[in-house]
Amino acid sequence: MIIAIDGPAASGKGTLARRLAAHYRLPHLDTGLLYRAVALTLLDADRDLADATAAADAARGLDVAFLGDPRLRDSAMGEAASIVSAQAAVRAALLDWQRRFAGAPGGAVLDGRDIGTVVCPDAAVKLFVTASAEERARRRHRELGERGETIPYDAVLADILRRDARDADRDAAPLRVAEDAVVLDTTALDADAAFQVATDVVEGRGGKRN
C-alpha cells in the first residue's frame, strides 16, 4: 500500500505522514528533504541555487546519509529548496530514487508536492493536505519560535505565499490536486482530528496495518 500525501508548505502533511507511517508500520519519506539536501549541497559549495547544471549534478550525487543533517530543518532551507525544486533536471534526477523507495515491500508513505500526480500516480491512497495561508504561517511561526528562531509573522506569511506561487507556477511537476485525491483541509483541525480523517480514508481504500 502506497500512501501519497501532497500539499503546500506548513499544511501539516509531514506530521500526518509520519503518524500514518507509524500507525500502518510503513517506511516514510519526506521528499522535501531531498530538495533541501540538494540546496544545502550547493550552498556548502558556494554555488548559485539557480545554477541548473550544478543543481542536477548535486541531485544525481546525493548521499542519503546527508538527509540527517540538522541544517536541513532551518527556515532558510525551505526557501532554498523551493528554488532548486523548480528545476526540471533536479526533479528528474530524484524521481527514480523516490519511486524505488515507494516500491518497498508492503508499501510506503511519501509526502511532498507531486507524489500523487507524478511520483506515484497509481498510489492506492492519495491525500492533498491544505490549510489557509494565514493558518499555515501561524503554525510555521510558532514552530520557528519553539526552535529559538525569531522571525516576524509577516515575514513568515510572505515566505509561505512566495513558495505557494513558485510551487504552483513551475513548469516541472507543479503543485496540483490529483484527480483521485481526497482533499483534507486542516485549517480548523488539530493533528489528532486530521489523523482520524486520514485513517478513515486509508481504511476506506482497503488499507490495514502491516
At residue 26, φ and ψ (nearest 5 deg) are: -120, 150
What whole-number distance in Å separates Cα of residue 10 and Cα of residue 13? Answer: 7
The reply, when asked if residue 13 is annotated as ligand binding, is: yes
For cell 506530521, the residue is: 15
Q: In whole angstroms, what is the distance from residue 46 CA to residue 44 CA? A: 5
11 a known binding residue? yes
| 8 labeled part of a ligand binding site | yes
The CA radius of gyration of the chain, in Å to the nearest whole number, is 16
Question: Is 9 annotated in some ligand binding site?
Answer: yes
Q: Is 184 strand, coil or helix?
A: strand
Task: Return the closest-CA partner of residue 109 out of 206, 8, 202, 204.
Answer: 202
Closest of 18, 32, 198 to residue 108, by C-alpha: 18
Has 103 been labeled as part of a binding site?
Answer: no
181 has binding-site annotation: no
Helix (H, G, I), strand (E, B) or coil at 162: helix
126 is in an annotated binding site: no
Q: Which residues are annotated as a binding site for ATP?
A: 7-15
Residues making up the annotated binding site are 7-15
